[in-house]
Structure 1
């Protein structure tokens, strides 16, 4: 009954098979190998465009920090939600990688930036005022840290406002697959078609061993050389990148990543429905693979004593994360312990 995180789940067997298949012969280093180059066609198909460039890393923090550092100068700032992963879970990596750029934290319900808060922040930007730390990037997260999803319409609206103010739009897609399943949108509709300039596309939480992809769309492709330089300088230029690319190929083949996200979302829905049947309130309406339950201290104690693993979250809730490896039996066992 481990609901601690989707990063606790094992890698999908198809990923391990792909790694084994890639583990033959000699290949070029640093991303110019056959597998990494071949991945372009797969990404073009998934995102329905050829107007992009990409880079692979092993962690979401590296992807976010590298991507943001290419667009936020040391004297600038990134607009993001106060509860965003880059703000509360990355130990200052975006600030460190950008050489001193700030994060301007915005509020909004359910982990999403409020429209009024964004409008106010954009109206305050003044690059000519020397005392100002003007924003250069708007960063959105989908799914949010509260397990909620921005719709395509919301991303498009926020991106249009950001672009009108001269900002670049970054999307943290560590759980992009879960967000797409929740909203019914395609990868293209939720990214470049909605105005996203740079996407950090996560596959680790979905079922890979450790694979994240930075995607630069349209004019943002001009930052590819800088991205490579920053990756090298920070130690995020994997010599044997083919093993990251092999994971991505396996996950993207035959929509595996979306199938796995669908399963994780369904397990979370099963958990949420079971909790509600027992009178447990939820802090947020579950839209992806996370459930935030308002459990009492006694309930938490009983569950922990029974071997259930989960963590407390903001607002007094308990976060329960389902993954591709979560089974209905695990969810039912958790609910059974709670029922007593």
Structure 2
């Protein structure tokens, strides 16, 4: 009953097979392999963006950091939510690569509002040469709380950024989960809504380790290439990234896996909502649930074989009645029976 993170899920067999096939013989290095040509065409077609620049990188932290470094100057500040992954979980890598700072925008249920963003941007760049200058906006979709920005909300936020002459980056580590939940087209949730660059996640959704950096503004492409190389993230045996992404996209596998993960999350949420000792936080719109229940219940679940993160305290010691927050994340491989086993254990 593993619900700690979709990072812990298995690689899809189709991706493993694609790696086996790619391992035969020789191929040109550094992204010159023929598989990459197909990947580039596939992503441009999926996003209805024939001029988009497409690059692969091995993990999400690098994807976010190199993209933001391409968009931000060292004397600028990047606007992001107060619970953004680039703020809480990337060990200052975005600051390292950009040499810029992060300005945090207050959120509700993991999402910033257009008004809150406008206020934060307005408050910057009013100290002349002595203060940080305004830099890009970064949005996380799905958010770190498992909630989603709908298309109208994305448009509203990017409109605020554009009003100040700023570009927008989207951290799409769980982009597929958000897309199928909103039932919209990739273009609608990205460049048509004002997104300039996208970290298009695959690792959390069935790949072994690959993310696509999709740049809708072609003027940024060459600088990204230079920064990726300088930052040590241009993989020599690139075909193993290309093969993963090729299999991930083939026949809509990426969407099927996201739907499966979301469905199991919905099953979990339904079961949790019927338990008197459990309080579900936020609205689980994709594949992440945050919930609260007494420490004693956490102890019983964890000792019974459930694996998940307790976010705000030591589950093993303390007041048995204290409410602690847990996080459950489903991935493509989670079965109905595994969810049923977790809920049966919860019911005691």
Which whole-Å deviations, capped at 9, do the CAs of 1:152-202 have from their partners, x for residues lacking one? 111111111101211110000000000011111111110111110000000
1:334 equivalenced with 2:332 (yes/no): no
Which residue pairs with 1:225 in the alignment?
222
In structure 1, how many angstroms separate the alpha carbons of the residues matched to 2:291 and 2:165? 40
SS of alignment partner, residue 236 of structure 1: coil
1:184 equivalenced with 2:175 (yes/no): no
Which residue pairs with 2:166 in the alignment?
167
CA deviation after TM superposition for structure 1 residue 338, in Å: 1.1
CA deviation after TM superposition for structure 1 residue 64, in Å: 0.3
CA deviation after TM superposition for structure 1 residue 128, in Å: 7.0
Which residue pairs with 2:37 in the alignment?
37
Which residue pairs with 1:321 in the alignment?
329
Which whole-Å deviations, capped at 9, do the CAs of 1:285-340 have from their partners, x for residues lacking one? 10000111112101110011011110023694210000001111111111111111
In structure 1, how many angstroms separate the alpha carbons of the residues matched to 2:138 and 2:18? 32
Which residue pairs with 2:9 in the alignment?
9
In structure 1, how many angstroms separate the alpha carbons of the residues matched to 2:174 and 2:324? 23
In structure 2, how many angstroms separate the alpha carbons of the residues matched to 1:72 and 1:160? 18
TM-score by length of 2: 0.94
SS of alignment partner, residue 140 of structure 1: strand
Q: Give 4+ residue runs of structure 1 displaced > 4 Å after superposition.
A: none
In structure 2, how many angstroms separate the alpha carbons of the residues matched to 1:127 and 1:303? 52
Which residue pairs with 1:61 in the alignment?
61
Q: How does 1:86-235 map to 2 (within 5 A)?
A: 86-98=86-98, 100-126=99-125, 129-217=128-216, 220-235=217-232
TM-score by length of 1: 0.96
- Give the counterpart of 1:245 among 232, 239, 242: 242
In structure 2, how many angstroms separate the alpha carbons of the residues matched to 1:176 and 1:234? 24
Which residue pairs with 1:286 in the alignment?
284
In structure 1, how many angstroms separate the alpha carbons of the residues matched to 2:33 and 2:224? 18
RMSD value, Cα: 1.3
In structure 2, how many angstroms separate the alpha carbons of the residues matched to 1:114 and 1:197? 19
In structure 1, how many angstroms separate the alpha carbons of the residues matched to 2:85 and 2:119? 22
Which residue pairs with 1:25 in the alignment?
25
CA deviation after TM superposition for structure 1 residue 241, in Å: 1.0
Which residue pairs with 1:296 in the alignment?
294
SS of alignment partner, residue 71 of structure 2: coil
CA deviation after TM superposition for structure 1 residue 116, in Å: 2.1
CA deviation after TM superposition for structure 1 residue 115, in Å: 2.5
Which residue pairs with 2:304 in the alignment?
306
- Which blocks of at least 5 consecutive residues in structure 2 are unaligned? 313-322
CA deviation after TM superposition for structure 1 residue 211, in Å: 0.8
CA deviation after TM superposition for structure 1 residue 226, in Å: 1.6
Do the aligned partners of 2:209 and 2:241 also contact (CA within 8 Å) in 1? yes
SS of alignment partner, residue 282 of structure 1: strand
Deviates more, 1:140-149 or 1:270-279: 270-279
Task: Give the number of equivalent residue pairs.
Answer: 337
Q: How does 1:261-280 map to 2 (within 5 A)?
A: 261-279=258-276, 280=278
In structure 2, how many angstroms separate the alpha carbons of the residues matched to 1:45 and 1:208? 20
